Amino acid sequence: MDNLQTKETINYITELVLKEVTSLGFKLQKERNKVPVSISARHLHLNREHLDLLFGIGYELTKVKDISQPGQFAAEEKVTLVGSRGRIDNVRVLGPLREETQVEISATDARVLGIEPIVRNSGNHEGTPGLVIVGPKGILNLKRGCIVVERHIHMTPEDAVNFGVSDGQKVCVKVDSIRGGILDNVFVRVQKDFALDMHIDVDDSNAFLIKNGDMLEILK
């Protein structure tokens, strides 16, 4: 083999290696941009006053299992939600207790209840509708705090650096499924005690055929 042929062979092999390395780098970067997803069914968070009203003075929630975020859990306790048009039974309470009661439903649930579906970040209750909550010991006429929660991603500050995002930023997330697509306006929430997890509601899950534990890609 002469020098020209040797040079051409080396160039060809080098080109193949560079393509493979580039492809591998793209795949690794894509994997690094993925987050696990959890599907949030309708539920509510109660404050101390409202827990006492619905379940009895001094009542304590009974933990059934931990959920994705550290310190939070699904409780055994359930209530009934009542709106102007309908009701939804067996809505689970999540713990621990919060400073302000919040009911989280899907847009479909809102229509069943006869409530205007207001999309808000958790904790932002200004201008949101209320509803009636029926517990085993009492009835609560909640004035506000019933929301369709914004799609959001929990992450630590280290995660935020790795993904190149910041607290409060909104990103796009790609869904690879038979009915895949792009989820817009996904709110990034950064806190040191968070666990990396994206939360969507049942409506989004059904529309895109997403399952718990699926890995979705942040596009930004």
Q: For residue range 109-166, what is the model confidence (pLDDT) as tens digits?
A: 999 999 999 999 999 999 999 999 999 999 999 999 999 999 999 999 999 999 999 9
* pLDDT band for position 60 (cuts 50, 70, 90): very high
As a whole number of angstroms, the distance between CA 65 and CA 62 comes to 9
Strand partners, 171: 186
Closest alpha carbon to 51 in 108, 110, 96? 96
Strand partners, 169: none
Statement: residue 78 has pLDDT above 80: yes
Q: Please tell me whether residue 104 adopts helix, strand or coil conformation.
A: strand
* pLDDT band for position 32 (cuts 50, 70, 90): confident
User: Can you tell me the mean pLDDT for 29-37?
Assistant: 77
> What's residue 13's pLDDT?
54
Place of tokens 């390395």: 21
pTM for this entry:
0.84
- All domains of the chain in start order, with CATH: 34-38+151-218 (2.40.40.20), 40-149 (no CATH)
> What's residue 133's pLDDT?
98
* pLDDT band for position 106 (cuts 50, 70, 90): very high
Amino acid in position 37: V
> What's residue 25's pLDDT?
37
Burial class of residue 67 (count of CB atoms within 10 Å of its CB; 0-12, 13-18, 19+): middle
- Contact in structure between 179 and 208 (CB atoms under 8 Å): yes
* pLDDT band for position 18 (cuts 50, 70, 90): very low
